[in-house]
Amino acid sequence: MSDTDGQRLDGKTCIVTGGAGSLGGAIARLFLTHGARLLLTDLDRDRLEAVRAGLGTDRVAALAGEVTDPNHARRLVDMAIEAFGGST
């Protein structure tokens, strides 16, 4: 593994669905160790906020909702751009 492997997601924004669950939380922690910025989403607003707060970084935002709803999917993209900026 090269020195750059630890930051392979540096500058990338990832949306993690199921972010309030144990698997979503584990994915979030892994992605953070690789330098990603994260937008977590899940139906369970309280657990989602607890996971976000527990990650303890400003590189994580959260939005509760149903990912199969096209309006929620659009809000996720808009929020990711607002929170972390868009690509150039």
Q: How confident is the model at residue 3, as a pLDDT?
A: 46
Q: How far is Cα 57 from Cα 39, in angstroms, rounded to an integer?
A: 12
Dihedral sign, CA of 6, 12, 13, 18? negative
Per-residue confidence (pLDDT) for residue 60, from 0 to 100: 96
Q: What is the pLDDT of residue 15?
A: 96
CA distance 15 to 40: 6
Looking at the DSSP assignment, which residues form a beta bridge with residue 40?
16, 62
pTM of the predicted model, to two decimals? 0.87
Which pLDDT score is estimated for 19?
96
pLDDT (tens digit, 0 to 9) for every residue of the chain, 88 residues total?
Answer: 454 566 899 989 999 999 999 999 999 999 999 999 999 999 999 999 999 999 999 999 999 999 999 999 999 999 999 999 875 4
* Nearest alpha carbon to residue 52 among 63, 62, 41: 62
Q: Is 64 helix (H, G, I), strand (E, B) or coil?
A: strand
Q: Which pLDDT value is given to residue 31?
A: 96
Task: List the structure tokens of 75.
Answer: 């809000």
**CATH fourth-level superfamily of 10-84:** NAD(P)-binding Rossmann-like Domain (3.40.50.720)
13 alpha carbon, distance to own chain's centre: 7
